[in-house]
Amino acid sequence: MDWNIVEGNWKQFKGKVKTQWGKLTDDHLDVIAGKRDQLAGKIQESYGITKDEAEKQIKDFEERNKDERP
């Protein structure tokens, strides 16, 4: 998945992100605004995990949604 697609269509992807990481609030998602590094930081903060684990989860998310189009 090209993260530029996610960033450019953040409103359409917010629901999928919220489903994957339910602890993230709408306010978090608004601040993230499709920025991958911001998402990693908020996942790390909200779930108390390492940066590497957050990156792994994002990569898994990308793999599961690689064929998605908004």
Q: What would the pLDDT profile of 43-62 be if each residue is shown by its tens digit?
A: 999 999 999 999 999 999 99
CA distance 29 to 51: 18
- Which CATH number does 3-64 carry? 1.10.1470.10
Q: Which residues contact 13 (CB under 8 A, 6 or more apart)?
A: 6, 34, 65, 68, 70
Query: In the chain, where are the structural domains located?
Result: 3-64
Sorting pLDDT into bands at 50, 70 and 90, what band is 12?
A: confident
From residue 68, alpha-carbon distances to 1, 16, 35, 53 in Å are 8, 11, 18, 23
Distance of CA 35 to the CA centre of its chain: 8
The answer to whether the beta carbons of residues 40 and 57 sit under 8 Å apart is no
Range 8-31 average pLDDT: 94
